[in-house]
Structure 1
Amino acid sequence: MPLKNTGTEQLIKDTAKRILFAEGKLHATTQDIAEAAGVNRAALHYYFRTRDQLVACVFNESMLELSVRLGTVMASVRPFQEKIEELIAVFMKEMRAYPYQEIFLVTEINTAGVELVKDIDNMPVANFLNEIENEMSAGVIEKMNPKHFLMNLFSLLSYPFIMAPLYRQFFNLNHQDFDQLVAERKQLIYRMVFK
């Protein structure tokens, strides 16, 4: 008899997302996730036959949610500078909540290949690149290949999170001090983009 859906599947996914992306336990086992979710491993395996299935599900849902939020900002009819400010805010909020998501992304792509991020194709990047190019032509931002502009923007946003443990040690910062430093980056990045 199948298990009755009492929210267990969502609980398992939420727990896996927290453990993998928020806590950075990238090699957590199904037993680790089941224990943290307060379910037995048999229940976890009922919904997700393997760890790989669970990881793929959690990763794809997470990337789709982020892609939708970023895509919504890119496709909005707001002025360009407001879009950039909102992109920074959305990305920073995501990275603060899930600081290990980028590390997980790189690790999984190196393991499973780029087909893992197939849903990223749904983002309206081509139109946004045209908009970036128009802003460059108008002299609002420095001229470069628009792809470099986006890569630079996302690098400025994600790299501090990827390197957070090293930076905390290097600068002798506790988690709270590092969070404050990261919070200051929103305006810093915005000012760097629009000199």
Structure 2
Amino acid sequence: MPLKNTGTEQLIKDTAKRLIFAEGKLHATTQEIADAAGVNRTSLHYYFRSRDLLIAAVFQEAMQGLSERLNQCMVSAKPFKQKVEFLIEVFLKDMMAFPYQETFMVTEINTVGKQLVGNIDSEPVKSFLNEVQQEMDSGNLKAMPPSQFLMNLFSLLSYPLIMAPLYKQLFQLADGAFNELITARKAMIMELIFNGK
């Protein structure tokens, strides 16, 4: 008799997400995930036949969720500067809640291949890049290819989070102090990309 889904499938995915994205257990086994979720491994394998299928489901859900949140920022009706500020807030909030998410996603893309990101909606990005070009044409942003602007923005946001363990050690920072440092980046990034305007 098949197991009735009482939220167990989502519980397993949420648990895997917490272990991998929040706690940094990138190589958590199905047994570790099942134990943390409070289910037996048979239940986990009922919903996900292998660790690879579970990881693929977690990846797709994470990628889709982050994409949707960032797309909402990019197509919002806010003025451009507020839109960028909103995008920074959303990205930092997401990455601070799940500090290993980006590392996991990059690792999976490099391991499994680009087919993992095949379903990303690029229209919001195109629209945002058009606005970037308009801002450059108006002199509000330093002139460069708009794609370089977006890569620079995401690099300023993600690189310190990917390198968090090194920076915490290098600067002798506890988690709370590091989070304060990251939170302060919003104002610094805004001033940097808008030339202090």
TM, length-normalised to structure 2? 0.97
Q: Which amino acid is the alignment partner of residue 38 of structure 1?
A: G
Which whole-Å CA distance do the structure 2 matches of 1:28 and 1:7 have between them?
A: 21
Where do 5+ consecutive residues of structure 2 fail to align?
A: none
What is the CA distance between 1:123 and its match in structure 2? Answer: 4.9
Corresponding position: 1:137 with 2:137: yes
Q: Which amino acid is the alignment partner of residue 41 of structure 2?
A: R
Q: How does 1:14-163 map to 2 (within 5 A)?
A: 14-163=14-163
What is the CA distance between 1:122 and its match in structure 2? Answer: 4.4
Q: Which amino acid is the alignment partner of residue 100 of structure 1?
A: Y
Q: Deviations over 1:150-172 (max 9, x none)?
A: 00000000001100000000011
SS across alignment from 1:120: coil
Q: Deviations over 1:83-115 (max 9, x none)?
A: 000000010011001111111111111110011
Q: Which amino acid is the alignment partner of residue 145 of structure 2?
A: N
Question: CA 1:179/1:73 → structure 2, altered by over 3 Å: closer, same or farther?
Answer: same
What is the CA distance between 1:50 and its match in structure 2? Answer: 0.6
SS across alignment from 2:119: helix
The number of equivalent residue pairs is: 195
RMSD: 0.9
Q: Which amino acid is the alignment partner of residue 115 of structure 1?
A: Q
TM, length-normalised to structure 1? 0.98
8 Å CA contact retained: 1:67, 1:123: no
Q: Which amino acid is the alignment partner of residue 153 of structure 2?
A: L
1:4 corresponds in structure 2 to 4
Matched-pair identity in % = 63
Q: Which amino acid is the alignment partner of residue 114 of structure 1?
A: K
Q: Which amino acid is the alignment partner of residue 133 of structure 2?
A: E
8 Å CA contact retained: 1:12, 1:44: yes
8 Å CA contact retained: 1:60, 1:119: no
Where do 5+ consecutive residues of structure 1 fail to align?
A: none
8 Å CA contact retained: 1:136, 1:142: yes
Q: Deviations over 1:43-94 (max 9, x none)?
A: 0000000101111101101110111111111112211001000000010011
SS across alignment from 1:144: coil
